[in-house]
A and B are shown apart, each in its own frame.
Chain A
Amino acid sequence: MIKDIKILSVIITITILLYIYTFSFDEVPEILAQGMQPTMMPRLIFTLIVFLSLFQIYQNKNLIEEKKEIIKSNAFITFGFILFIILIADKLGFFLTILIFTFVTPLLWQRKDKFFVLLYSIGMTLFVFVFFTLVLQLKFPQGILEDFIVRNFY
């Protein structure tokens, strides 16, 4: 297989789809557009991306795809867990989310010392709470702990 053909094909496909999408933009009267319709710049960019991607494929035509390092299952598990954490962060609240994340992830990454992991997790959460919420006064989603935090810290 030609080197980089997969990623460049994905880029070309997405670019073409986005190019087609620009036809759904409203047309603006020439007097308002002043020589530059809102579609002009994106279309110019997409054309160049497709041209350069095809040029790269042409340049690589005699190069064979090198074997890439396999994405380990750990990366997929971490990604899945991060996605889950981000989706529940709003409802659960940032502090519980951070507590869970910083406890579970080191274990997923083969840390065996659960006690130290727990200490780290509590320490990290407390740091975020004290520094960002109490010192910098940043308001994060507090989720199910909202009543407790509002009653005791504001």
Chain B
Amino acid sequence: MELISKITLILDLTTFLLILGSTIVGVLIGALPGLSSGMAIALLLPFTIYLEPNQAIAAMAALYCGGTFGGSITAILINAPGAPPAAATAFDGFPMAQNGQAGKALGMAAVSSVIGGIISLIVLIIFAPTLAKIAYKFGPPEYFALAIFGLSMLASISSKSPVKNLIGGLIGLFVATIGVHLTTGISRFTFSIDELFEGVSFVPVLIGLFAMSEIFVQASKSELLLERIKFSAIKLPSITEFKNCGKTILRSTGIGTFIGILPAEGGTVSAMIGYNEARRWSKNKENFGKGEIEGVAAPEAANNSATGGAMIPTLALGIPGSATTAVILGGFQIHGLRAGPYLFEQQPDLLYTIFYGMLLANFIFLIFGLLGAKIFSRISLIPRGFLWPSVFVFCLVGSYGLSQSMVDVYIMLISGVVGFFLRRSGFSPAPIIMGIVLGQLVENSLAQSIIIFDQNLFMFFTRPIAMTFFILTFLSLFYKPIKNLFTERKRI
């Protein structure tokens, strides 16, 4: 009953319009190759300061949902996924469009996205408070072990190399150490720059790594000529098609929600696994890659269900479930909120606002996705020469806006250049962001643990929850090498 009565939280005009606007902006940005929902939230983060915390976080969450769906439109119509989570959608979506079934592919993408999104939100509303209750029992040693587990999960996200992801995470941890050390008051890596005493601002680094580095990438590219498939109208899947895809959608939703809950894993991994599992279980395996409708339903259900899943550890534990939720955690910091179990005690309405905000976002992108796919697909035709200078303007204004300091603009530029060269060498910006977000938690919880354990680090072994996280960390880091070793031995 409490859940139903809380719907009033999003029914005031400002909140409703914010969620509506954010979802549409999310779909537009998601549809633009090169721009992601994480980047969009990073660019808009400084301006959310003018909003109530609940409104700001709900708007960011809605943008996250819209952005995840938006990528599928360009993936299907021009074979250019607007965002990485939609990459798997292009495998069958584009061949379907080429076969004259663009409308059906878009319809299936929208419906399966909404089903995945809504089911994962139900899991969120049930599971997040339960997880938060468990997390009440966490002390600094448990949080330290959890943060280390979160960092170890970086080994398996986005980029091809697990080691590079871990290095990226460590670079992020280093950035988080810049500034005055809280316990001792010693300044670290400030190089006598006053603005660095309070640490490196999160927002300029975020904007630099996500947006500015992409501008440099785009500057080196030529104008792409993409084949845009024309279509007359979107068709909702028929009942038979829907029945045929029902199991696939449910399986992918389960996969997406579960993977979303795992720290650091997000929509891209979910979509790929969802797609592969759909192909494995399908009766029409041989049609995959040639325009199989299940091949559209699976990744879309998986990547959208990952949005709800990723919010669970983000809200309940303060550990980001994906790169975009790491950016949303930055939003929590800006609004003076601390994600974690005590958030539900101090801000009980926040969970409901996010739940209803994301739920509303799902319905909005269903309606606007179905009615406006033609317009959204046209956005990919905006010339690069106009799009990327506009992104730079937002980078400049956004990085300056929060603290009104030119130092933040310089930090944004430096982060952009560093991000560009790291990306060229196969590093992904997401682990660095995760490292920065988790940096303080890692150092503070370790410091507190050392005090609790009277400097005897072996005392970690006496804490069952912490030990469980350490075992999970070990498994996430060494499971593959150990498995490979055993496979090779068997061959011999």
- Choose from B50, B388, B400, B451 the contact partner of A35 (Cβ within 8 Å): B451
B184 touches A35 (CB 8 A): no
Max chain A Cβ within 10 angstroms of own Cβ: one of B216, B386, B446: B386
Known: A7-B421, A111-B383, A120-B386. A42 touches B392 (CB 8 A): no
Interchain CB contact under 8 A, B413 and A48: no
User: Are B189's CB and A140's CB within 8 A?
Assistant: no
Residues of A within 8 A of B427 (CB): 7
For residue B215, which residues in chain A have a CB less than 8 angstroms away from its CB?
A: 78, 82
A142 contacts partner chain B, Cβ-Cβ < 8 Å: no
Q: Please tell me if the beta carbons of A46 and B174 are within 8 angstroms of each other in the complex.
A: yes
Cβ of B196 under 8 Å from chain A:
no
Q: How far is the CA of A100 from the CA of B422 in the complex (A)?
A: 29
What B residues does A86 contact at CB under 8 A?
Answer: 396, 409-410, 413
A139 at the binding interface (Cβ < 8 Å):
yes
Interface residues of A in 75-112 (CB under 8 A from B): 75, 77-79, 82-83, 86, 89-90, 94, 97-98, 101-102, 105-106, 109-111
Within 8 A of B (CB), among A21-36: 21-22, 25-26, 28, 32-36
Contact in complex: A128, B393 (CB < 8 Å): yes
Find the A residue at minimum CB distance from B389: A105
Question: Which residues does chain A contribute within 8 Å of B276, judged by CB atoms?
Answer: none
Say yes or no: A25 contacts B409, CB within 8 Å. no
- Which residues between 45 and 61 of chain A lie within 8 Å of chain B, taking CB atoms? 45-46, 48-49, 52-53, 55-56, 59
CB distance from B153 to the nearest CB of A (A): 16
For B451-487 the 0/1 string (1 means CB < 8 A from A) is 1000100000000000000000000000000000000
Contacting residues, chain A, for B164 (C-beta < 8 A): 56
Q: Is the CB of B219 within 8 A of A79?
A: yes
Contact B174 A72 (CB under 8 A): no
Q: A141: which B residues are within 8 A, CB to CB?
A: 406
Q: How far is the CA of A98 from the CA of B389 in the complex (A)?
A: 9
| Contacting pair A4 B426 (CB below 8 A) | yes
Stretch among B108-116, B165-173, B247-255, B365-373 lining the A interface: B165-173
Q: Check if A136 is an interface residue, CB within 8 A of chain B.
A: yes
Given A45-B173, A102-B393, the answer on whether A4 and B425 have CB atoms closer than 8 Å is yes
Instruction: Assess the A52–B170 pair: CB atoms within 8 A.
Output: yes
A43 to B447, CA, bound (A): 15
Query: What chain A residues lie within 8 Å of B184 (beta carbons)?
Result: 28, 32-33, 37-38
Docked Cα-Cα span, A77 to B220, in Å, equals 10
- Known contacts A79-B216, A94-B397, A109-B384; A21 and B189 CB within 8 A of each other: yes
B404 to A, closest residue via Cβ: A139
A21 cross-chain contacts in B, Cβ below 8 A: 189
Q: How far is the CA of A75 from the CA of B390 in the complex (A)?
A: 17
User: Can you name the residue of chain A whose Cβ is closest to the Cβ of B47?
Assistant: A136
Choose among B164, B181, B424, B446 the residue with the greatest number of A CB atoms under 10 Å from its CB.
B181
**Interface status of A147 (Cβ within 8 A of chain B):** no
Contact of B450 among A11, A36, A46, A52 (CB under 8 A): A36
**List of A residues within 8 angstroms of B220 by Cβ:** 69, 71-72, 74-75
Question: Number of contact residues on B: which range applies?
Answer: 35 or more
In the complex the two chains form, is B186's CB within 8 Å of A101's CB? no
Decide if A124 is an interface residue (CB 8 Å cutoff). yes
Q: How far is the CB of A149 from chain B (nearest CB, A)?
A: 16
CA distance A33 to B174 in the complex (A): 19
Chain A residues whose CB sits within 8 angstroms of the CB of B385 once the complex forms: 105-106, 109-111, 117
Question: Complex: how many Å from CA A25 to CA B190?
Answer: 11
Chain A residues, CB < 8 A from B388: 105, 109
**Smallest CB-CB separation from B422: which chain A residue?**
A7
20 A-B residue pairs with CB within 8 Å: A32-B184, A35-B450, A36-B450, A38-B183, A41-B443, A45-B170, A45-B177, A49-B174, A52-B163, A59-B163, A68-B424, A78-B219, A89-B396, A98-B393, A101-B392, A109-B384, A120-B386, A136-B47, A136-B50, A138-B404
* Chain B interfacial positions (CB closer than 8 Å to A): 47, 50, 161, 163-164, 166-167, 170-171, 173-174, 177, 181, 183-184, 186, 188-189, 215-216, 219-220, 223, 383-386, 388-390, 392-393, 396-397, 400-401, 404, 406, 409-410, 413, 417, 421-422, 424-427, 442-443, 446-447, 450-451, 455
Interface residues of chain A, those whose CB is within 8 Å of chain B, are 4, 6-7, 11, 18, 21-22, 25-26, 28, 32-38, 41-42, 45-46, 48-49, 52-53, 55-56, 59, 68-69, 71-72, 74-75, 77-79, 82-83, 86, 89-90, 94, 97-98, 101-102, 105-106, 109-111, 117, 120, 124, 128, 132, 136, 138-141
When A and B form their complex, which 4 residue pairs have the shortest distance between CB atoms, in order from nearest?
Answer: A106-B385, A78-B219, A7-B425, A38-B181
Taking A36-B450, A89-B409, A101-B392 as known contacts, 7 extra A-B pairs with beta carbons closer than 8 A to each other, sorted by chain A number, are: A32-B183, A33-B183, A34-B451, A49-B167, A94-B396, A105-B385, A140-B397
